[in-house]
Amino acid sequence: MEKSKQSWDVIVVGGGCAGLSAAVYLARAMRKVLVIDSGQSLALWEPEVQNYFGFPDGISGEELIERGKKHAKKYEAQIVEDEIADARRDGIEFLLEGKKDVYRSKRVLLATGVLHIPPDIPHVNECLGHSMFFCKDCDGFRSQEKQIAIVGRNNDAVEYALGMLFYSSCVFIATNGKKPHWDQQHSDWIAEYEIPVYESRIADVEQENGLIKSLAFEDKRCVEVDALFTTRGDIFHNKLGKALGADLDSDGQIIVDHCMKTSVPGLYAAGCVTPANCQMIIAAGGGAIAAQAINRDLFEQSLIDHALRRFRWKQIAVEQTEPVELPAK
Ligand SMILES: Cc1cc2nc3c(=O)[nH]c(=O)nc-3n(C[C@H](O)[C@H](O)[C@H](O)COP(=O)(O)OP(=O)(O)OC[C@H]3O[C@@H](n4cnc5c(N)ncnc54)[C@H](O)[C@@H]3O)c2cc1C
């Protein structure tokens, strides 16, 4: 592949909540910033975001991302559609190999997010974001007094079911054909709160326009349901972090410090690919923190390299710096 001649101050991989927020900050700090995005933000799955500060009437995830792009472009951040397949160091720069092009930059921010694994239930994906959810902080509130199924079989699933009691008294756990895998303490809580547990495999979902009506089990039983939450797990998009040698935790999240720095100098990460609570506003905040740290890092580097001189010379050429005598009145 042709080597890109252009080099950016910062490349942000991922144009979701974290990446676009970082791009706004970096572009407003006068940095040459490129956002490379493959268009799969989880935010696009949410028809009505109810918990993003400043939108009391809600906003769709799609609209929020569109506004984020418009906002970043307003300050001259560039955004391209591509998927970065590999990354490595090339001297003092990072070299990112995309499917369409090769890109170079001084600093990289990975804002590549996560994939929540949907439950292994036929036809359930049509209900995604409408009545099938991954996050009680996002969607518990809208499930008040509904009949709620928690699909899972471990301690997390039990804690989810218990946490959902704040929203509804009608909560049960479906292990979807698997043996329960929770410990004695969680088993005791199930008994104490009388949470029903169905172990049969879920054969099908009856739904209309994305709204779940009932679950049909393989043992021929059927139960009415309005909302289904799943705790099946996450796949963190950490491939580029790994390729560049960043430390990961045992779940595969990229480890960052309070400034979103990874263990690799010049490499930052923000949003759901890090150990942040996976929420839009938290991802956006993480992106802003990373952007500020990157800007500071580049500033310090420019002092080491005496690179600010070229800005100053340009300014001196157009600016009257010597004091002049005021004309006599
Ligand atoms: C159904 C559903 C509903 C949700 N509802 C809410 C809600 O109501 N409120 C809330 O706060 N949160 C909600 N969330 C969570 C929210 O969507 C995430 O917290 C948020 O999108 C995370 O932002 P991010 O920038 O880390 O990742 P994302 O927004 O997912 O963005 C990551 C971006 O990186 C791109 N990318 C990944 N790898 C590459 C690569 N190699 N090259 C180029 N691009 C790449 C992806 O295409 C994607 O565009 C919901 C999630 C789901 C699944």
- What HEC string does 112-157 produce? CCEEECCCCCCCHHHHECCCEECCHHHHCHHHCCCCEEEECCCHHH
Q: How many CA atoms lie within 13 A of 239 on its CB side?
A: 14
- Span 109-136, average pLDDT: 92
Asked whether the predicted pLDDT for residue 292 surpasses 80, the reply is: yes
Query: According to CATH, what is the number of the domain 125-230?
Result: 3.50.50.60
The CA 163 to ligand 1 mean position distance, Å, reads 24
Residue nearest atom 23 of ligand 1, based on CA coordinates: 17
- Cα(16) to centroid(ligand 1), Å: 6
With 80 as the cut, is the pLDDT of residue 275 above it? yes
Q: What is the distance in A from the centroid of ligand 1 to the CA of 256?
A: 18
pLDDT band at 41 (very low <50, low <70, confident <90, very high): very high
d(CA 42, ligand 1 centre) in Å: 3
- Nearest atom in ligand 1 to the alpha carbon of residue 281 is 11
Say whether pLDDT at 113 is over 80: yes
Atom of ligand 1 nearest to the CA of 40: 47
Dump pLDDT digits (tens) for 180-236.
999 999 999 999 999 999 999 999 999 999 999 999 999 999 999 999 999 878 899
CATH of domain 7-116+234-317: 3.50.50.60
Whether this model's pTM surpasses 0.85? yes
Which pLDDT score is estimated for 199?
Answer: 96
Which residues of the chain form CATH 3.50.50.60?
A: 7-116+234-317, 125-230
Ligand 1 geometric centre to CA of 31 (Å): 24
Q: State residue 95's pLDDT score.
A: 97
Ligand 1 — pocket residues by CB below 6 A? 13-19, 36-43, 45-46, 49, 51, 83-84, 111-113, 116, 128-129, 134-135, 138, 237, 240, 271-272, 278-281, 283
Q: How confident is the model at residue 67 (pLDDT cuts 50, 70, 90)?
A: very high
The Cα 59–Cα 271 span in angstroms is 20
pLDDT at 45 over 60: yes
pLDDT at 3: 57
